[in-house]
Amino acid sequence: MAKEMKTNVMRIFEQAKIPYKAWYYENK
């Protein structure tokens, strides 16, 4: 359960990483 949750969180962060960086640099 915990391992599965961590995998989901890591996958969400991987998917969000590029859009988040783009937003961050655009709004710096």
> Under 8 Å CB-to-CB from 8, ≥6 apart: which residues?
none
Segment 1-28, tens digit of pLDDT? 688 888 988 888 788 777 777 777 777 7
* Residue 1, pLDDT score: 67
CA dist 24 and 14 (Å) reads 15
DSSP-assigned letters across all residues of 1-28 = -HHHHHHHHHHHHHHHHHHHHHHHHHT-
* Residue 25, pLDDT score: 75
CA dist 23 and 13 (Å) reads 14
The pTM (predicted TM-score) of the whole model is: 0.38
